Structures are given as structure tokens and as C-alpha cells.
Amino acid sequence: MADLAKRFSNNPIITPADIKPSQEGLIVECVLNPGAFKYQNKTGLLMRVAENAPSTDTTISVPLLDESAEGGMKILKIDRKDPQLKATDPRVVNYKGDDLLTTVSHLRLAWSEDGKHFTVDDKPFMMGQGKYEAYGIEDCRTSQIGNEYHLTFTAVSGNGVAVGHAITNDWQTVYRKGLILPPHNKDVAIFEEKVNDQYVALHRPSSPGIGGNYIWIATSPDTIHWGNHHCIAQSRPGMWDSERVGGGCAPIRTDKGWLEIYHGADNKGRYCLGALLLDLNEPWKVLARSDQPIMEPTAPEEKAGFYSQCIFTNGHTVDGDTVTVYYGAADTVICGARLSIREILATLDV
């Protein structure tokens, strides 16, 4: 079992204590799963900040986006004895027949000169907005295409878990492009260059009944409308990615193919990272895939937290042979690690 990652000595690099809540009365429970990018010689992280409101012995608090107000959140307080409340999962409660999240996430920026030490913005960069984001926005990828950054994020609401898209070129003004994929879908990353004059993206639909949590690929003329869907990676019974797989951020172009670092979870819910190698011209063709993880939860902050035994990445930066992976550890804090692209490719026997 090879773990190719050289973890930062200052891990975790960002923790909930570093984050100012988005409004009074809220608690930052977790900071995790950042998109990563370069902008004006700085490294930027677009992090997911998950907030909650204090619960008590007698009430459970559920934060909800306040659609009637100017952004911000309202707190629904539910009596723990209410017969219409079902609360068994730490992440989701059911109230009056509706599934509600116990935390609501927004996206927050952090900046660094050296890629290791970050300063977190005081305010959110993007909050959930409107009927498709009432339960928040999560796990944003930040693909750079020319001067534009294409943000793709999970939009959660009672309508389902769908994929939102927005564009910025200055990290000040954001142009929202609506939902580019309907429920149930997440883990969307747009490739940072066109292939055969089409945009390409990885996505991860989930199915009730037949089908599973598999990685798919699609193409688009404009990043707004998507078609030509192909399944490129199923979960693999008996292996480290037996239960679910999902793409990370945009793949890295190498001589051998598009190198994608993805996550897989086994039947114990343990999340590791592995690699997929996709054909440069026909990226729906898989050339190689990791038999073993290239990185797995071994550090204390990866082994225990809000969701233990979990490494999840949706952001990295690349400098020559070095890919610096930013990742959520145990869904609670953000860490960094460096891997060699050459070493990853070597494990794929290509």
C-alpha cells in the first residue's frame, strides 16, 4: 500500500477556528474541500465552510437560507420531542417529511503567497441563493480557462442535490449560470482546455435502484449545456473504491493522458484518493486506474473528525512535476500535500 503524498508540516493549514462565522449566532463546524487556483501570483482556496446554530438539550437547530431576506440564514428550532422530527444521522434530520441538513455551507476564499500559509477572508465569497441553494453550496471546483475561472459546485435544496455553475475573472464579481446538471449530481470539474473544440467535464450522478455512484464525462459547446454522457468509472466491489467514486478537480494534461485524481470510498465509508488516466483526444476512454490508493487517511486529522477516515480533494495546483493537493481531512479541516506526477503515473504502469 503506497501513499505517495508528502504532507505539509503545518497541517492542518486551515481549521474552523480560523473562520469568522457568516453571521452572528452561527458556529463554524467544518472547513473543508477547497477548490484551488492561482491568481495574480497568489494561491487561492475557495473553501466550503459548514455552519450550524447551537442546539440544546431540548431543541435541535437547523439553519436554512432565508430566501425572503438579503442572503443570510434563518434558524429553525425544533423541539427534540416533536413527533414529526427524526434525528438519527449527524448530517441530516427529517422534519415534517422533509430532509434538512444540520449544517449549511457557503464558499469562502483564503489567500497565500507560498501555498502553505493562508489568510482567510472575513466574509463569504458566495452564499447559497434562491430555491436551488436553500440548503447551501458545497465542494466548488475552480477551473481556469483563459482568464475565466469556471466555478462548479453542489447546490443543495429540497429539490435535490444539483450542480451550479458560475464564472468570475477577478474574484470580485460572479456571474451565475444556473444549474448545468439536474439532481442527483455533484463532483463536477470542467477541463481547463477544450478537447476537439468542445468543453469537457467530469460529473458524478447517483441513482436510486439500478446504477450507483459512478464517474461520468460529458461535453458542451458553451459550459452551460451538456450532453454526450459516458460512464468512465464504476465503483469496484472488493476494492478500496467499492462503494462510491467521484472526480476531484480538472485533470492534469500529461504526455500519457489526462491524469485525474479522484476519491473512492469502501464499504466502511473510508475515503482515499486514486488516479485515472484518460485518453488525451477521447477522454471518455480510460487508459489506466489505480489498483491501490495513492493517498489514504493516516494522519490524526484525517482519521478522526466530523466524518472520520476521510481524505477528499477537489483542488490542486501544478508546478512542473509537483501537484500540490489541497484536501478536506475528516470533513473538518483543510490540509495540503505534494505528490509527484511522475510517481503517480509510475503506479499506473504507463
Calpha distance 258→278 (Å, rounded): 5
Pick 131 or 342: Cβ nearer a copy of itself: 131
Least Cα distance to 212 among 188, 231, 239, 238 occurs for: 231
Calpha distance 110→45 (Å, rounded): 5
Least Cα distance to 299 among 5, 1, 2 occurs for: 5
Least Cα distance to 243 among 208, 211, 267, 270 occurs for: 267
184 is a contact residue toward a copy of itself (CB under 8 A) = yes
Calpha distance 9→71 (Å, rounded): 38
262 is a contact residue toward a copy of itself (CB under 8 A) = no
Q: 21, exposed or middle or buried, with CB in 10 Å at 0-12, 13-18, 19+?
A: middle
Q: Are 139 and 48 in contact (CB under 8 A)?
A: yes
341 is a contact residue toward a copy of itself (CB under 8 A) = no
Write the interaction track for a copy of itself spanning residues 102-131; mark x where CB under 8 A is met and - where it is not: -----------------------------x
Q: Are 339 and 325 in contact (CB under 8 A)?
A: yes
Least distance to a copy of itself, CB of residue 258, Å: 19
84 is a contact residue toward a copy of itself (CB under 8 A) = no
220 is a contact residue toward a copy of itself (CB under 8 A) = yes
90 is a contact residue toward a copy of itself (CB under 8 A) = no
212 is a contact residue toward a copy of itself (CB under 8 A) = yes
191 is a contact residue toward a copy of itself (CB under 8 A) = no
Least distance to a copy of itself, CB of residue 273, Å: 23
> What is the total count of residues that contact a copy of itself (CB under 8 A)?
49
Interacting residues toward a copy of itself by CB under 8 A = 92, 97, 99, 101, 131-132, 135, 156-162, 177-185, 203, 205-212, 214, 216, 218-222, 224-231, 234, 237
